[in-house]
Structure 1
Amino acid sequence: MSVIVVFFVNGAVFANWAPRIPEIQNSLSIDVATLGLALTGIGLGGLAAAPIAAVMVRRFGSRWAILASGLLLCAAFVLPAVAASWWTLLAALVLLGGADAVMDISMNAQGVLVEERAGKSLLSSFHAAWSVGAVVGGVTGAAAAGARVPVALHFAVVGVVLILALSAVGRGLLGPARVGRAHENQVAGPVAARPTAALALLGAVVLLAGLMEDFPQSWSAVYMTTEEGAGPGSAGMAFVAFSAAMLVGRLVGDRVVDQFGPSTVLTGGASLVALAFLAILGLSLLAADLPVLVIGAFAVAGLGASPLFPIVFSLAGRLAGVSSAAAISIVSLVSRIGFLLAPLAVGRVVDASGFGSVLGAIAAAGIVVAVIGWFYGRKFPVGSRSHSASG
């Protein structure tokens, strides 16, 4: 239960932030290119902190790493709301991104440890709790935006509530222990022989998946406002739809992967993302003012994106020849590069040629991930049970 609350808290933080981005942009009077530059702060902070996280987990245990980074994340959450310029917004997001990276790696390491103790797959449920937090946070943020609650007040209240939640479950987390692999010798064959090649492919997946997930979180409200004419309350519903569909996908993720295998689900999920963004692109090219359909397409994208990170963390955390904590840190580090590059690239491209080019690029990324999933299944065949989507 404690780990579920931790994942929930992590998901709720930036989900509350996403629907308020247009208001923060307007309050600072910055264009989309400058906003994109400021949003790279999340990736910069994460990129800088990710290598430290594995050291913290090994030295102090994932429990203390979770609590330290989680409390910092929630306490500093109000900073973007009081930023006075784009560069102070950038600085605030660097701090939040760093805290988020440490929390992300340590809570996944804790999840692997809990799986070891329980002897069964649990990470998919933990990531589903993250999605619950994202849905609740997105709805809260959209409601606060619709009610025109001051952003600073909204973020401060959310921060206090989440700090109390983390404090309440801290004792329930597993203390300092070696976070090892659940089954050191379970993987045989090509994956065991070439963990570097396998990690490279998994890194490519999370790099592109970062773009797929960052756009709904960082840009969907801006897109709905500028391209679909949505109001402050409804603009955040695209992200809510994305997060809600992701939750549904993760609730059934383990069973789907056990049935069809991780590579097949990677291919299918990424294909859904590609189709969803092609649909959004088609609606924009037709100049169709149909925000309900766009929101529905974001939901399809969320369903498709739901297994991507869980499967990668599961596969990486169980590779023979590399420790679980190290593999998770490597994958997380690469994903942080994606989250660093995505906002900057999107801001620049939108400023130069509009949202259409970005939507096409995300669809292309989905196709590439689908091909990687197909190739991974052929090059590194794994058993469905030992490599189920447990993240």
Structure 2
Amino acid sequence: MTTPLAPTSAPAIITDGMRRARTALFIVFFAQGLGFGSLFARLPSIKDRFELSDSTLALLTLALPLLAGVATLVTGSVVQRIHSDLVLRVAIAAELVALVVIGVAPSFAVLIPAWVVMGIAFGMVDATMNMKAVSLQVRYGRSIVVGFYAIYSAAGIVASLAAAWSAHQGLPLWMFFGIEAVILLPLLLATGRHLVHARVGAAGGQAGADKRTSLKVRVPWAPVIGIGIVLTSAYFIESSASSWGSVYVKDTLMAPESIAALAYGGYSAAMLIGRLSADRLIRAFGATRVIRACALIALVGMVAVVAAWAPWVALVGFALAGGGLCVIAPLAFAAAGTLDDSGVAVARANTFTYVGFLLGAALIGPIADLSSMRVAYLISVALAVVILLMAGTLAKRLEGKEYALSSTP
């Protein structure tokens, strides 16, 4: 049985508890984006400190999403036995503590356990925060979930700028990560108790907040895999842009490095701008129109990247792809939320994001070596077509029956 959104003709009553839960989730999404973004932005410092080879560093960077992917799959079972708000609060604290330990680690032997904890905690936070975002959207009765992703995107940009500043100032890793933990942990502790109002399976009000999640929830894999294909496609494109975009612009289109570096920056900026306005657009025009329009924009963007005859064309293409994909992941998770009211489907769907991320990072380079980077990016074009073809099915699940992410009068 699905948990329906309130019909647009009968708007949901937004309580103070729900508003506080939304604020608490904003802080969680920001902490998640800041922590992960900071770690990857300071990878050169980690490499130098522990004198890692390129191969070892590559293994570490691949291990993190692998650990997170396994953890997010397991989380679907964990939250059937332990309240999701407790899992989320413990995991986000563990993630920040692991980040600090990575910063102070005196040896590789200490770094590895902290790295493992970081990956597992990140996956558990990723799964539970998405569960709660979808659950709270159900209670709100209107689209709010994309806004959480806007905060996540903004946190990644803040992390990049903060890491650049700290590296320029020669700030030690332990101090940089420690400052983040000192700022974020008190905020998370202060607001974490409000997450109960966004609890998965809550029917509304305090009575719903006190209700325990059912044990042994069974969610059919077939519809989850359908949603997972969309998520894998979207994250493959994102990974190909983040991992290889600047390389493509520099080596294939012969742009200077200062220009090539803008490839992922434009992608990220367009995604952030799109996410800041997406919830309003969905409420105004409905999920179907927004998803289809965004999927088409993403496809046009990737076609422009492959067909680019000059660096600026590719940069515009990456920006269009980022702007087009801004709603795909959030609304895919919202669609997964219609499959059950336990959050298990959302956790399972979340695993596919790591599949896409890993495939995008791993396949583009080898295929480019065998042919060319332009040919390799045809995979991203094909996956953009997949997203466009499946956009209608995704929207139908969101707007079908009583789950109405449709336009409001």
* TM-score interval, normalised by the smaller of the two chains: 0.7 to 0.9
Counterpart CA distance in 1 for 2:269 and 2:345 is: 29
Counterpart CA distance in 1 for 2:97 and 2:87 is: 15
Kindly report which structure 2 residues correspond to 1:241-390, keeping only aligned pairs within 5 A, or say none.
241-283=266-308, 286=309, 288=310, 290=311, 294-319=314-339, 322-350=340-368, 352-353=370-371, 355-374=373-392, 382=400, 386-387=404-405
Kindly report which structure 2 residues correspond to 1:109-120, keeping only aligned pairs within 5 A, or say none.
109-120=131-142
Contact in 1 for aligned 2:30/2:152 (Cα 8 Å): yes
Contact in 1 for aligned 2:398/2:405 (Cα 8 Å): no
Quote the RMSD (CA, aligned, Å): 4.0
Secondary structure of the corresponding residue to residue 343 of structure 2:
helix
Q: How much has 1:332 moved relative to structure 2?
A: 0.9
Letter in 1 for 2:32: N
Q: How much has 1:149 moved relative to structure 2?
A: 5.5
Gap regions ≥5 residues in structure 2: 1-22, 205-218
Kindly report which structure 2 residues correspond to 1:1-391, keeping only aligned pairs within 5 A, or say none.
1-21=23-43, 28-30=52-54, 37-77=59-99, 94-144=116-166, 154-174=176-196, 179=201, 197-220=222-245, 228-230=255-257, 237-283=262-308, 286=309, 288=310, 290=311, 294-319=314-339, 322-350=340-368, 352-353=370-371, 355-374=373-392, 382=400, 386-387=404-405
TM-score (norm 2): 0.73
Letter in 2 for 1:358: A
Contact in 2 for aligned 1:73/1:99 (Cα 8 Å): yes
Q: Which deviates more from structure 2 when the two are superposed, residues 15-24 or residues 298-307?
A: 15-24
Counterpart CA distance in 2 for 1:347 and 1:152 is: 33
Contact in 2 for aligned 1:181/1:317 (Cα 8 Å): no
Counterpart CA distance in 1 for 2:231 and 2:111 is: 26
Counterpart CA distance in 2 for 1:88 and 1:212 is: 34
TM-score (norm 1): 0.76
Secondary structure of the corresponding residue to residue 279 of structure 1:
helix
Letter in 2 for 1:230: E
| Percent identity for Structure 1 against Structure 2 | 27
Partner of 1:189: none
Contact in 2 for aligned 1:43/1:338 (Cα 8 Å): no
Counterpart CA distance in 2 for 1:88 and 1:293 is: 46
C-alpha distance 170-178 of structure 1, shift in aligned 2 (>3 A)? closer
Q: Which deviates more from structure 2 when the two are superposed, residues 160-169 or residues 363-372?
A: 160-169
1:219-260 Cα distance to aligned partner (Å, 9 max, x none): 4566677774435xx876544432332222122223333454
Secondary structure of the corresponding residue to residue 28 of structure 1:
coil
Counterpart CA distance in 1 for 2:114 and 2:194 is: 30
1:278-311 Cα distance to aligned partner (Å, 9 max, x none): 333344xx4x4x4x66544332222111010111
Counterpart CA distance in 1 for 2:113 and 2:371 is: 28
Contact in 2 for aligned 1:269/1:303 (Cα 8 Å): yes
Counterpart CA distance in 2 for 1:224 and 1:155 is: 32
1:163-221 Cα distance to aligned partner (Å, 9 max, x none): 34323422332279552588xxxxxxxxxxx9755433211101111212223444456
Secondary structure of the corresponding residue to residue 58 of structure 1:
coil
Contact in 1 for aligned 2:233/2:356 (Cα 8 Å): yes
C-alpha distance 363-83 of structure 1, shift in aligned 2 (>3 A)? farther
Partner of 1:185: none
Larger Rg: 2
Q: How many residues align structurally?
A: 367
Gap regions ≥5 residues in structure 1: 183-193
Counterpart CA distance in 2 for 1:46 and 1:107 is: 14
